[in-house]
Amino acid sequence: MPYMMSYIKKGSDVYSELNDAMHLALSKDGKKFQPLRHNTGILFAEADFTDGGLAGKTKCLTDPWIFRYKDQTWGVLAIRRNRGNQPDNRKIGHIMVYQWKTPAEYVLISFLKVSDREIRRPACRYDEEREVYRLEWDQEGESFCGETTDFIEIKNVHKETRRISNGREEFQCDIREAEASNIIEITETEEQYLRTLLETPVLQSVEIRNRRLSRKSVLEGSQLPKAEGIYSDGSRREIPVDWDREELEVLAQNGPGECEIHGQLRKKCYPIPFTERTGDPFITCYHGRYLMTWSGGREVTIRAADTLEGLHRAEAKVIYRIPEDQPEAGNMWAPEFHEIQGVLYLFTTIGKQGLWYTVQSCILKCKGDPEHPEDWEEPVLCVKKDGSILNEKGITLDMTCFSVEGRYYVMWSDRILDQEHYEVNSFGTNGDATLCIGEIDPKEPWKLISDPVCICRPKYGWDRIENEINEGPYLLEHGEDLFVTFSGSSVGVLYCVGLLQAKKGSNLLDPSSWKEFPYPVLTKESVPKQFGPGHNCFIKDPDGREEDLIVLHAKEFDFDDPEDEDIMIAKNPRNSIIRRVHWNRLGYPVLDMQEHQDIPEPLRKIQGKIVLF
């Protein structure tokens, strides 16, 4: 029987916003537990937007307790706290009650008030005989209990020694910095579901599709046996094979019959880093040429090459520079190329150089060759349908563009600022950076034809570290699913990547069409020596098999120097990284698969059979 453990993390070097959240670990025997999602949280308390100014107040979660409702679905109890595990005076004596529909969806049912005093360590068990839920908690050093049928009202509250077992009396938690809450038994089906969603799949076996072919076609790669990789979560993908060419040439001269052939799985690895000092990287293929760009100051710089690999060593060149008669202008951040009905545009920002609080989204039109500076027109500010700039009370940045079912949309990061102070939001004076979407006319992509709509705002601890930010959205299509990745928190080693999901056919201008994953899909724990992953884009693999590649930036070392940004950038710059996107059995993107997980070396050498005629 498998087991599931809930816990939080504690330690001198952790951030409460990131670690005061429910973490999960699984075990086959209830003794040795393996953390899920790289020992990072999967359930975070939501911010309180009725408190703390424009950006709301960040809340944390502690003492998570997993239980089963009477229908055997999962529920979670927890205590809401302020940053630094401080009491939340707005919810003293309350227990947060969640319905855990799937590991990617939690519904907060209620704040169940059980006391007027501060409480900790709630527990719950359903009493089948009496058809009530028994709740227990600690209060001022003593144990209390009560009953509820609906988690709206508590009854029969009194002092009593705890009777609900946490399942860990004889268990020693050896997970780094973990404080275990409780352990429950789960089914093998539930275990597999959790592992599929919350673990990185690993290639486990390879199936070879043997072929019957003529001797004339034996040297044609498209006719040779195919390899299908089977991963630990049950997902599958076709993997290219490099068959032994010399062996095939010999077989082509032989007579008919069954032959054994040998080869190895093709393992495409991009250099790490792919390019240095290229924060907010973007890559596209335009008219057979690969173009790469990244954030700059007074200019837009690119690399160009005939192949994706060629960008690694391509020379950097400036394609646009702000005119000298605008000496104060700059901040050309997160540039992206987008071809719209045959015309290439560059989406970026412009503002006063060095003053982050002045940036606004803008678009440059290309009238010829994008590699020629003279073929770029001057920037045009993005505007609403009435002609006013997108945000007259703050900033806009990180705009991307995409088309779905014949309609064109832009999505960007939008933030209201304290017009008097223009300071980083340490005291709630500024608003949070939200994700907005709007529809555009493809003939005038700088102008909305709909009202801007907010579809996501930073509400969890993981996207409110040091700053309340959602930015850098980018679309990834997969079948009927539309995924949008975005980055959260301040740019640094604690930068994270979040995920939104919508369906084709839905109204993308309706916030209810978008579902946000409640936890980050990439953090500094996801891949070794890739700290602060974020601001990514996607591109198709050039080999023609339509596989997706993620392009992102990350830092090599786990340190920041917020007191001196220049030193931080010099010693720990943001470098670009490219790797394959895997799709798990549930149809969700896996963004943290490493080379040794994708194609382990022991499985790389393969053999197959062909029947020649």
| Span of 293-297, 373-377, 397-401, 570-574 with lowest mean pLDDT | 570-574
Reading the block at residue 264, the tokens are 């190895």
Mean pLDDT for 59-86 is 95
Mean pLDDT for 357-380 is 98
Q: Can you give the pTM of this predicted structure?
A: 0.95
| Domains of the chain as residue ranges with CATH | 3-198 (no CATH), 282-476+498-540 (2.115.10.20)
Which residues have a Cβ under 8 Å from the Cβ of 467 and sit 6 or more positions away? Answer: 424, 425, 433, 489, 490
CA atoms within 13 A on the CB side of 555: 21
Q: Are 329 and 298 in contact (CB under 8 A)?
A: yes
Q: Are 451 and 444 in contact (CB under 8 A)?
A: no
Residue 51 has pLDDT above 90, yes or no: no
Reading the block at residue 423, the tokens are 């300071």
Q: What is the pLDDT of residue 392?
A: 94
In the chain, what percentage of residues exceed pLDDT 70? 96
Residue 425 has pLDDT above 70, yes or no: no
Is residue 105 very low, low, confident or very high in pLDDT (cuts 50, 70, 90)?
confident
Measured CA to CA, the distance from residue 214 to residue 176 in angstroms comes to: 58
Q: What is the pLDDT of residue 421?
A: 55
Q: What is the pLDDT of residue 52?
A: 75
Compute the mean pLDDT over every residue in the chain, rounded to the nearest whole number.
93
289-293 and 282-286 strand pairing? antiparallel
Condensed to tens digits (0 to 9), the pLDDT of residues 217-233 reads: 777 777 889 999 999 99
Residue 216 has pLDDT above 60, yes or no: yes
Is residue 426 very low, low, confident or very high in pLDDT (cuts 50, 70, 90)?
very low
Residue 12 has pLDDT above 90, yes or no: no
Q: How far is CA 21 from CA 28, 42, 186, 543, in A?
A: 24, 7, 21, 41
Q: What is the pLDDT of residue 568?
A: 65
Mean pLDDT for 361-384 is 98
In the chain, what percentage of residues exceed pLDDT 90? 81
Condensed to tens digits (0 to 9), the pLDDT of residues 251-286 reads: 878 778 888 999 999 999 999 999 999 999 999 999
Mean pLDDT for 377-388 is 98
Which residues have a Cβ under 8 Å from the Cβ of 26 and sit 6 or more positions away? Answer: 2, 3, 4, 5, 33, 34, 36, 191, 194, 195
